[in-house]
Structure 1
């Protein structure tokens, strides 16, 4: 393991040519401890026999670390993850088997986790557990995989089984067993065949995924609109009649929700409230006459899932708009709708945002016609314009490429950037400011133009 860019580490350590039949790895975003070699994954126990990679945050790691240190365990990193192999090792030394030791260790942890565990004494076995962080099983011929998202699996298999909350997977080259941890119940679940291909999750000659996905926006919008017909009609019937309507999302998906709120008011004369998902349970209430549309690219955003559960707890109707088939939000929603943008590998959302906006515009047009707000000819004309938008996007991307570079060079030395928008321009300014901050780390703020 090492700190640095993945391509550089691959060249230095020759990761792809390492010998062996089983392995685990994780690209870590530093939440605990600096980004350095000793904090990189995988983490080991004292004996070096238990190795763990972990996505998520362990909230009680400090108290667990102190307990384990008093029992003689020696820690070498600053991370929360390192308590996991030490806990597993603690139970193994007490005579528990590997799966039982992993189960008992997970029972001691508070927080979110998706983990993969290797044990030197059982080298053909891989154990994974999911709690509040996505984990998928991939099945091939005589091989099995664990990953936190679908694109990571595509070079190897398209047969995928998503783990549900508090589930454990035990993989060997020839077998797979699934179990619900709290109850101990064995689970049988057939793999889903993912429609995405390995080529869709590659750069395809582009210097990075962000640029590739920017240029894929016209196709993503076209595919989303093509597949949305009957789905949008069902969604409009689902939402019509609700006395209170909420659109919830986080980050980019929240900005799409704000666009949807504006469109619904303008085209269908229907009020909706756009809410940052983390604030929904604190600021919003409802009953059986309340409807919620949860917008999430991954379908795994923790705050969105919490909002969904809150709405269902007070009897509200819940629909979702997501890009990932079989994700958690699809299992917790009464009606499921999809953008069809293909895999989005870049950290920054681009084509999924425009696909969400296109879907919400189609929804607003449908609701406008069904509510009588839009006349037949006006609705038909707007729909025709929407269906022509992928071609317009294609031409816009071609014609603005050099101008974008000129504008970027002109802003390069600025320390602060303010984006101002009015009406629909305001949520686009919000999204633009987010993109500037995510990609360039330049301070940017969006302001309403009033």
Structure 2
């Protein structure tokens, strides 16, 4: 290695060890491993058909965004080159920008979950496409079959206080959790790293100068790490995604000899990675409170017979006293857009009291206010105060005019939510005239 390169490697090793003292061994080494993998992502895409996104998750003050800024500086981007989705910066605009950096990262900052925040767009489909590096395609204004294709070439990296909940999205991410708030003495040391970030691109330069050798190491490590992960019982995308990061980590000591101790510590780091994957998988299996509520609601509306019903007059715990379907209504949502289509009306208080009487577990695990808040911030929500006629009681066919929540059936169908309940609500709607005339 030339003298200048030796000095550069020593400088970078010193700064990376300082970085590690802020954000932890796993997060920093995985970040640098992912950086190496980015440089071989075209080969990976050819071989495996996809390349994962890196997602740094944590509360404000844990250093996730600063860490991603420093990661971006490895590729020559000053101040992180952060991007976000907004009215001024649309998803289509982002995708066009992703055509520019071939195998270099594209930093999408401040991810917000659309299920709990109706003001932000749903990034589910874009993320699934970005994983496979699928861009966009649109028809040309011509009489033939020509299209205008926008290729997607970037490695997408993201940060957020929210984390995606869709299993398909999560399976395409390398999730690094930032839970440690930086202490005062650590905050005082950060400027030392920040001042050095203009030189972090020397790391990529060192890789590119010895590209073929590093690529050979990477591919050898890749195969062995896939086997190790599979032997641990991990499957599918988890094996592929983390094997790229682990192979990249193993390459770093060849690029920066002063970090040779990483090779000696790799066995222990692998164990830490396995534990992190298991922990993340366990977190992903924890149910979304709103979706758990929907599952409970559907169970009590389509399967759970009310114990107070009689042998010759059986009815469910939840029925036309608690919800109602209409095939077409028009509402303006929180974004000012008009929705026209099928809707489902729910009366949360009636539902909640019925579930409490039935001693449902969901009433002990959460509370009505929390569920209503999540419902109002979800993509299903249209309105929380629309007067609708619901059956007064089982013994009295008259109806009461009650203020109900209104949900979009198209969104429920898209997420596979409440489909059996909606079918039951349609059945009740067909029977309504008969009930009222009885």
Bigger relative contact order (CA 8 A; separation at least 6) = 2
Q: Which structure carries more helix by proportion?
A: 2
Pick the TM interval, shorter chain. Answer: under 0.3
- Work out which of the two has the higher radius of gyration on C-alpha atoms and give 1 or 2: 2
Q: TM-score, with normalisation over the residues of structure 1? A: 0.25
